[in-house]
Chain A
Amino acid sequence: MNPQEYKYTPEHEWICPESKDKGKVGLADYAQSQLGDIVFLYLPAPGTQVKQGKKMGEVESVKAVSDIFAPVSGQVLEVNQTVIDEPGLVNKDPYGAGWLLRLELSKPPELDALMDSDEYDKLIAQLSEEESEQTED
């Protein structure tokens, strides 16, 4: 189950609000399972301005590369150096140790546009159903 306190984007990023204007950002479990073993992360440096819905980085697995989109607008405060050194943490613990970066939110109301965990769980259920339909003859 996807953590209740978190908010989610349709591109499978999550944000965990820490205070009214700060939050931790990462990739959802669905993203890491789709990508497979993650081998490299391109993340924006501290101080970079990011915009909600716009590409802010990339995640690479052995056979695929995917864009990472900013869940909200703001400034990058900190990048998780541990996950840079050990990208596999995103696979092992996407909601915990596998966090990617911390943001200072420039427009906290943007959080309202994101999905809560119930809505996101529904999305995942729907995607999984579509996938198994595809596999049938």
Chain B
Amino acid sequence: MSHNHLLPEISKPGKIGYSLPALDVPPTELPPKELLRQELELPEVSEVELMRYFTALSKLNYGVDTGFYPLGSCTMKYNPKWHEDIAKLSGFASINPLQPEESVQGAMQLMFELQEYLAEITGMNATSLVPIAGAHGEFTGLLLVKAYHQDQGDEARKKILLTDSSHGTNPASAVMCGFEIGTVASDSEGNVDMKSLESVMNEEVAALTLTMPTTLGLFDPKILEISQLVHERGGLLGADGANLNALLGRVKFGELGYDYVQLNLHKTFSTPHGGGGPGSGPVCVKEGLADFLPWPLVIKNDGRYKFVSQAKSIGRIANFYGNFCVMCKAYAYIRSLGAEGLKEVSENAVLNANYLKEKLKPYYYLPYDRTCMHEVVFSGKRQKAKGVRTVDIAKRLLDYGLHPPTVYFPLIVDEALMIEPTETESKQTLDAFVEAMKEIARDVEENPEILHTAPHNTPVRRLDDVRAARNPDLRWEMRSQGFG
């Protein structure tokens, strides 16, 4: 059985894939017909066929457990397996968020301790675990900024400053909070251009969002100068903490002058990415912003854990408390590593990235030839001059059984290739990756056709995304069968 047939094609009236108990109470009259649905067109498949179908689908997928996944900015590190077992414990998975607090003290303890650990790791004073993903955390951080300035009576601060290398979620989040956007340029070293910052940082600016290390994988040595300037002119400094893997166990955002940082548990803290979620995007803040945190915070009072609302809270940003099952895994990770283990993570992550930088430098253009942090950005411009684009390089890597790096981001690097190996990869894997990249560089000269037509060995070859956008086919439909 392959994956080629969609559910409606496997479906046949009369098949069933489930068993349910019979009704054990006397039936009640059904409501008026106008309220009821006349037909429910869902597929009917047997359990056997269902499992074969989804098993076949899974085999088409490439995950971290399949191989190297050097996506820059995504920190695709290995997901420890025992964490999955923890999240499935009955006492964690089968609890209702609205149960009496006395009946979920274990869960609340986990959340409380995680709040503390994340604050400690980032050098901040308080944590909200509620944001459901990184972008949600960014949105929350900016709502905090807005609330802070409004509380100060400062109505003029309507702008958020972003660097020209920022991730798309940064400006999108700013707009969701009613802010306008200003840009700060990067200098030739890939750091913040201080002249540019001086010219745009004024009393109209609510905050500067600065990823650290930057999306170029570089640490800006002027960070204290930057935070000082921003604060002097009445603004706040926030971090998109996507790149925390470079600083774990070694540097505290709080000591760099940041007022808040948004984290990604599904990046830095090893929880699985799920093909696009669930994630978790906690926000850690300094004292001055703690009053505004969204509902709820977990506090400990007389040995009991409680949910509380902050005095000037921005309110609810989600229905419940955040992605608890993801929190369980991050909690387990932090407790299995400890401070020393976290330091080992950043050391090996940075080592691996710098190793790749040196090994690939002869073959691909390195726009910022300096020590990088946990990721390194190359440019495919030499190859572009010979008619091969970064997308072709990426597709050819798939033929080697390797997931490509992030491509075409950050926007300030032409034909960008952002490589983040993470600390969970071995030198052997890195060397194999380098070999593949070397062969591809050679193919650019000797056999470019094989790159233009790549991939060849994957379950499907290059897909027609023009057709997908011009003639969207976003679902199948099933004919009405009526309730027989």
Contacts and interface: CB of A to CB of B under 8 A. Distances in A.
A and B: real partners?
Answer: yes
Contacts of A37: 466
Nearest to A132: B385
A136 B386 CA distance: 11
B469 A137 contact: no
B381 A62 contact: no
A88 B471 CA distance: 12
A134 interface: yes
B365 interface: yes
A39 to B, nearest CB: 4
A26 interface: no
B116 interface: no
A135 B383 CA distance: 9
B465 A62 contact: yes
A134 B385 CA distance: 10
B384 A135 contact: yes
Contacts of B381: 134-135, 137
B414 interface: yes
B285 to A, nearest CB: 34
A102 B236 CA distance: 49
A30 interface: no
B469 A40 contact: yes
A87 B470 contact: yes
Chain B CB within 10 A, most for which of A37, A88, A135, A137: A135
Interface in B354-397: 365, 381-382, 384-385
Contacts of A136: 385
Chain B CB within 10 A, most for which of A62, A87, A132: A62
Contact of A137 (B365, B465, B466, B470): B365
A132 B465 CA distance: 27
Contact of A62 (B365, B384, B466): B466
Given A134-B414, A137-B365, A62 B469 contact: yes
Contacts of A39: 466, 469-470
A125 B59 CA distance: 50
A13 B470 CA distance: 22
B244 to A, nearest CB: 29
Contacts of A134: 381, 414
A88 B470 contact: yes
Contacts of B414: 134-135
A58 B448 CA distance: 35
A66 to B, nearest CB: 15
Contacts of A87: 470
Contacts of B469: 39-40, 60, 62
Interface string A29-42: 00000000101100
A40 B365 CA distance: 35
Interface string A97-137: 00000000000000000000000000000000000101111
Nearest to A60: B469
Contacts of B470: 39-40, 87-88
Contacts of B465: 62
A121 to B, nearest CB: 24
Nearest to B381: A135
A62 B465 CA distance: 7
A134 B413 CA distance: 11
15 contacts: A37-B466, A39-B470, A62-B465, A62-B466, A62-B469, A88-B470, A132-B385, A134-B381, A134-B414, A135-B381, A135-B385, A135-B414, A136-B385, A137-B365, A137-B382
Q: Lowest 10 A-B CB distances belong to which pairs?
A: A39-B469, A37-B466, A135-B385, A39-B470, A62-B465, A135-B381, A62-B469, A135-B384, A62-B466, A134-B414
Interface of B: 365, 381-382, 384-385, 414, 465-466, 469-470
Given A88-B470, A136-B385, 12 more contacts: A39-B466, A39-B469, A39-B470, A40-B469, A40-B470, A62-B465, A62-B466, A62-B469, A132-B385, A135-B384, A135-B414, A137-B365
